[in-house]
Amino acid sequence: MKYKHLFGPVPSRRLGVSLGIDLIPPKTCTLDCVYCECGKTTRLTTERREYIPVDNILKELDDYLARKPELDYITFAGSGEPTLNNKIGKVIEFIKKSYPHYNICVLTNGTLFSDPSVRAEVLKADLIIPSLDAATEKIFQQINRPHRDLSCKEVIAGLVDLRSEFAGEIRLEIFIVPDFNDTTEELQAIKQAIEKINPHRVQMGTLDRPGTENWVQAADKEKMQQIASFLGRSELIGEFRPRNKIASFNESYNSQILNTLRRRPCTLEDLHHMLNLHPAELQKYINHLLAIGRIETENRDRGTFLKLKSEHRGLA
């Protein structure tokens, strides 16, 4: 069976070996974050509906999971905000009923949890990783560029409610964008929000791959450590581990990407169309190649291009 809505298993530094489920067509989201690795949001919405027919997803899951793959997590992630699909609860129920030994993770921007029905739909998951990059309206607008119906205050309140209702683990993720959410004022507001939400863990990341806007910079390691100690109880998202040591790493994808880039530099979207790989899965291989220094990025009019590093051009 050819899978359209499942991707991976993707070797992930946060989740080990994770099978992705994408419930949303690209690029549909409640936010349009400046650092998004999936590119600009083309459908900015808070409307919940069955964007991908749930029966198609259940058929793919049944086919895949019947083979008893070894997975650390089945993860809702992909081309936008997964809770926008109003059948996410049905998919979670199906997995828990038919394949109860698998752990389920929801990677979410957390913006819809002020709605009690959205919270109810994810309660059977094992791990929820919501992001919260801002705790003031101004910085929320600047970094996350939300749909007009959303406010930072309500997002935080929704996360507080989720924490009190959800029995699993909540890992709050904060993406640091230098000069925006690393000011004393914003960090103090974020710290207060963390105290209110009281997640089990707080993890911080910064740019390590091309974002939507080329002006977004990575925070340096020292700054990240200072912020982590200021916020307290927060940790940096793990250092890079060689992904090719993970069983689901597919060496042939690596070669296909390198061979394509040897012919000409491409954007992530170009590679997605040319290689027919899900963008989220593709991104993991790109991250690996960036981290080991085989490829580099270059900003051009049409976006961020990936190209072979000059010293590797004859080696792909």
Q: Which residues bind ligand SF4 (CB under 6 A)?
A: 29, 31-33, 36, 38, 41, 80-81, 109
In this complex, which beta carbon is closest to ligand SF4, that of residue 45 or of residue 188?
45
- Nearest approach in angstroms of CB 268 to ligand SF4 is 13
In this complex, which beta carbon is closest to ligand SF4, that of residue 30 or of residue 234?
30
DSSP string, 279-305: HHHHHHHHHHHHHTTSEEEEEETTEEE
Tokens of 17: 């070996």
- Nearest approach in angstroms of CB 182 to ligand SF4 is 18
φ, ψ for residue 158, nearest 5 deg = -65, -40
Would you tell me the crossing angle of helices 251-263 and 279-291 to the nearest 10 degrees? 80
Tokens of 316: 């792909």
Give the rounded distance of the alpha carbon of 128 from its chain centre. Answer: 12
- Angstrom CA distances, 44 to 80, 254, 312, 315, stand at 10, 32, 39, 41
- Nearest approach in angstroms of CB 313 to ligand SF4 is 32
- Nearest approach in angstroms of CB 65 to ligand SF4 is 25
- Nearest approach in angstroms of CB 100 to ligand SF4 is 29
In this complex, which beta carbon is closest to ligand SF4, that of residue 132 or of residue 261?
132
DSSP string, 9-33: EEEETTTEEEEEE--S-TTEES---
Nearest C-alpha neighbor of 19 from the set 97, 62, 87, 72: 72
The 10 Å Cβ neighbour count of residue 226 is 14
In this complex, which beta carbon is closest to ligand SF4, that of residue 159 or of residue 261?
159
R_g of the chain, CA atoms, integer Å:
19
In this complex, which beta carbon is closest to ligand SF4, that of residue 201 or of residue 209?
209
- Nearest approach in angstroms of CB 190 to ligand SF4 is 17
In this complex, which beta carbon is closest to ligand SF4, that of residue 32 or of residue 186?
32
In this complex, which beta carbon is closest to ligand SF4, that of residue 82 or of residue 265?
82
- Angstrom CA distances, 276 to 3, 271, 279, 286, stand at 11, 8, 9, 14
The 10 Å Cβ neighbour count of residue 155 is 26
In this complex, which beta carbon is closest to ligand SF4, that of residue 36 or of residue 224?
36
- Nearest approach in angstroms of CB 202 to ligand SF4 is 18
**Three-state SS sequence of 239-260:** CCCCHHHCCCCCHHHHHHHHHH
- Nearest approach in angstroms of CB 45 to ligand SF4 is 11
Strand bridging mode 104-108 / 28-29:
unpaired
